[in-house]
A and B are shown apart, each in its own frame.
Chain A
Amino acid sequence: MRRTVILCGLVAALAGLMLLGWGCSKPAPNEPLVIGGIFSITGPASYLGEPERNSMEMVIAETTGKGGVNWRPLKAVIYDDEGDVTKARLHAEKLIQKDKAVAIIGPSLTHTSMAVLEVTQKAKLPLISCAAGSAITAPAKDRVWVFKTPQTDQMAVARIYQYLQKQGLKKVAILTVSTGFGVAGKEQLLAQASKFGLTVVAQEVFGEKDTDMTPQLTKIRGTDAQAVICWGTGPAPALVAKNMKQLAMTIPLIQSHGAASKKFIELAGDAGEGIIMPAGKLTIWNQLPDNDPQKAVCKEYATKYTAKFKAPESSFGGYAYDAMNMLLKALQKSEGNPSKIRDELEKIQKFVGVSGIFNMSPEDHNGLTPEAFVMVKISNGQFKMID
């Protein structure tokens, strides 16, 4: 009698274990899908990371509120890499191993993205970077698992040079920051100049946290440059603008798209007047003609963001917003399988986002053209579309 009881107990326990095991191997359908995020929320690039995190959380909350993707709720796990390569890499590993993310959005910077993509490529996990460097997704053949939403520096350079050519300028001086963003920009500026009939007569570099660029600008002042192109992010480009005023330089200053934010206007103050730069259409969405397909998307994002965070929207947040929305589209058909997500991302066509109209392909994991940029000029403390 006793033996049967024990036997029954054993059988029941075994069955229980098997059930448990079965339960583990196949998650319940409404267990949340984890989307990873790595942004530079603090540190010198916090102006990128903060709106990116906000935008990602905003889309996730909205989707979960609507019942999730195919009734599976989403969960965002977001880490702060502080702009540090090592931290970014560690966070990527944590997202893959511990959090079991199905895809990762970020990082915010080119050099952190380059570090993270090595990890995600190995783990075969889709990564949608929010950094501008074109090297992140090029060549797409080698970067099978990597996508990115921001316009590339290659497009920004092409757009600036198109504009300069139209103005009939021939000689430019370039002043670039020594981070990944600046190095990649410099490469493009030098490579594309001859195509637009331009000569680079001076190339200078400054540190991300430098506070005085007058020596570099003095050198440029001694050349016959007809315009200065500054490639940087954060407060430094605003200081370049101030320093040019200080040196009484009157040639036009052209900033990269990295400076296209309201914060730049605020920091540069009076010295910002007349500065020209390429910007995503979000920056001047209310100046767009009504037949521009991006106008509605930009308007929706700007209204939602400002209402939720009581802060002005920025192109940077738009990168994460586009990334999240494209990922949602891919998730609908892929049941949380990373490899299917990747395939779906690559198939995205005519996706109207905040940063442009995306046409992904196996050869192009960014999917934008230089037309994603408009040229804007700062006048009376506002961005004005000029080209």
Chain B
Amino acid sequence: MELAPLLQYLISGLTNGAIYALIALGFVIIYHATTIINFAQGEMVMLGALCAISIYHLYPSLPLAFLGGVVLVTVVGIVFERLALRPVKDPSPITLIIITVGGAVFIKGVAMLLWGKEAYNLPSFSGDAPFHMGTATILPQNLWVLGLTAVVLLGMEAFFRFTLVGKAMRACAYNPRAARLVGISLSRMVQLSFALSAALGAGAGILIAPLTLGVYDMGTMLGLKGFCAAILGGLGSSFGGVLGGLILGVAESLATGLISSGYRDAVAFFILLLVLFIRPQGLFKGDS
């Protein structure tokens, strides 16, 4: 009896955790390039889900909805950086962070006007028939979430390690002045980081929409959980962020299943506080 539900908790925890991981990655990328926390990250998740749902209603093709959603939100991310952050006269991190909070509220408000307050459904990518894994069951959508997260993570790692642009972005993070001296355009890298993290957020939103529905206020909580995951992983490393997300997801699911369902959100923030008190550099020391 004991093992059977555990496996199920693990599966649902890993699925949620993978989503947190994708959002955390978005935080990490922007932090890398700018040392700010972009609190509008959660809203990109919401925009991704709702854009994809709208596209799907216009033209019912899931690959198109996925791509369209990601592209649209990437554009939003770039425009956000251009209009809200770049013109700031005194770009100290705290000013910029507060602007991202304002941006998040603004994006949420606009989404409420555009889509209304209702929730919307997006069909699963490949059907709703669950697979049986021993005593546990798993949906194809869970596999999509886990699989795509893994692919994205590897892709990101490869991008940062092996491509010139990726290396340039890392250089900006290590030493902005030196990066500029060797001819790297800092502002272009910042813009790229916003584009990338918006794309990641949108992808996360579209992946999870068939499981959780899409609604204008879904982003805030997801954003906060992603932030917890990023802090848990130490903000500096992508692998840390991903592990942080997975740990958080599983912890939540176990707390719900084994202790009481009321503790779900408390767990995330309890872990966040614990990490900030005891190990502010994160569980996995950042590599930058």
Contacts and interface: CB of A to CB of B under 8 A. Distances in A.
Interface of A: 42-44, 46-47, 50, 178, 204-207, 209-212, 214-216, 218-219, 221-222, 234-235, 238-239, 242, 245-248, 263, 266-267, 269-271
B117 A42 contact: yes
Interface residues of chain A: helix, strand, loop or mixed (majority):
helix
A171 B8 CA distance: 23
B215 A235 contact: yes
B130 A235 contact: no
Contact of B130 (A216, A222, A248): A248
The CB with the most chain B CB atoms within 10 A, among A50, A218, A239, A269, is that of A218
Q: Give 8 closest A-B pairs by Cβ, nearest first.
A: A211-B212, A215-B257, A215-B256, A235-B119, A46-B117, A214-B12, A218-B8, A205-B261
Contacts, number: 94
A242 B137 CA distance: 13
A51 B272 CA distance: 40
B71 to A, nearest CB: 25
Given A212-B211, A235-B119, A219 B5 contact: yes
25 contacts: A42-B117, A44-B117, A47-B118, A211-B212, A211-B213, A211-B218, A215-B9, A215-B253, A215-B254, A215-B261, A216-B257, A218-B9, A218-B12, A219-B257, A221-B5, A221-B8, A222-B5, A235-B119, A235-B213, A239-B213, A242-B211, A245-B128, A246-B128, A246-B137, A271-B128
Interface residues of chain B: helix, strand, loop or mixed (majority):
helix
Nearest to A209: B221
Contact of B256 (A209, A216, A246, A266): A216
Interface of B: 1, 4-5, 8-9, 11-13, 15-16, 112, 117-121, 123, 128, 130, 132, 137, 139, 208, 211-213, 215, 217-218, 221, 253-254, 256-257, 260-262, 264-265
A205 B259 CA distance: 12
Contacts of B208: 211
Nearest to B117: A46
B112 A214 contact: no
Given A222-B5, A235-B119, A242-B211, A248 B132 contact: yes
B66 to A, nearest CB: 19
B16 to A, nearest CB: 6
B121 A269 contact: yes
B9 A212 contact: no
B264 A207 contact: yes
A222 B1 contact: yes
A245 B16 contact: no
B118 A263 contact: yes
A80 B18 CA distance: 37
Nearest to A271: B128
Given A212-B15, A247-B137, 12 more contacts: A43-B117, A46-B118, A178-B262, A211-B213, A212-B211, A214-B8, A215-B253, A215-B254, A218-B257, A219-B257, A238-B119, A246-B130
A243 to B, nearest CB: 8
Contacts of A242: 128, 211
A159 B264 CA distance: 32
A327 B5 CA distance: 53
The CB with the most chain B CB atoms within 10 A, among A178, A215, A221, A270, is that of A215
A368 B213 CA distance: 35
A266 B257 contact: no
